């Protein structure tokens, strides 16, 4: 069985490589690769800007949902708990927002299903078809995964 620490290091490393490419438009969202964004948080200890490349789904409120894949120990999640003001770059636009943890069980299930459906091949790698998987399985498989809603203010122009 693969070492989860090695997998986590691999994904964190890939996220650090992908974030600038997504931010500058070199990597764009696609049906295969999923809907991608860069979430910027303020480091809870360092105070420095930190970036994570993430799959996202559009929320009915006009915001987006993202999932903290390493549960409650996900660094960006811990950062936004300390400072919920975040910036998100998606589809070539940077927007400032407020991040909140989704606690409503119905919204959580809807968000998880939407994120998986928007993630391209990632859901398939996990062995889930978001169109047919039961709510019970989603709830059980993602019980420890924080789901975050980012609500946006007015758009902020990006610098090239």
Domain boundaries along the sequence of the chain? 4-156
Q: What DSSP string describes 16-41?
A: HHHHHHHHTTSS--BTTTB-EEEEEE
Maximum pairwise Cα distance, the chain: 46
Looking at residue 11, what is its pLDDT? Answer: 61
Query: pLDDT tens digits, residue range 53-70?
Result: 899 999 999 999 999 987
The CATH homologous superfamily to which domain 4-156 belongs is Electron Transport, Fmn-binding Protein; Chain A (2.30.110.10)
Looking at residue 48, what is its pLDDT? Answer: 96
Place of tokens 């480091």: 43
Q: Which residues of the chain have a pLDDT value below 50?
A: 1-6, 8
Q: Classify 92 as helix, strand or coil.
A: coil
Bridge partner residues of 99 (DSSP): 150
The token pair at 41 is 């948080």
Taking residue 78's Cβ as centre, other Cβ atoms within 10 Å add up to: 16
Helix (H) or strand (E) holding 147: strand 147-156
The token pair at 28 is 């764009």
């Amino acid at each position: 069985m693969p070492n989860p620490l090695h997998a986590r290091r691999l994904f964190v490393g890939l996220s650090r490589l992908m974030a600038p490419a997504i931010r500058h438009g070199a990597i764009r969202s696609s049906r295969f690769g999923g809907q991608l964004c860069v979430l910027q948080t303020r480091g809870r200890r360092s105070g420095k800007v930190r970036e994570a490349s993430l799959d996202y789904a559009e929320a009915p409120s006009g915001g987006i949902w993202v999932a903290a894949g390493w549960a409650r120990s996900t660094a960006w999640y811990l950062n936004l708990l300390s400072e919920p003001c975040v910036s998100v770059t998606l589809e070539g636009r940077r927007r400032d927002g407020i991040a909140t943890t989704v606690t409503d069980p119905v919204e959580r299930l809807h968000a998880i299903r939407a994120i998986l459906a928007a993630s391209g091949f990632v859901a398939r790698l996990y062995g889930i078809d978001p169109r047919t998987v039961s709510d019970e399985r989603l709830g059980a498989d993602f019980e420890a995964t924080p789901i975050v809603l980012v609500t946006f203010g007015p758009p902020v122009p990006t610098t090239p």
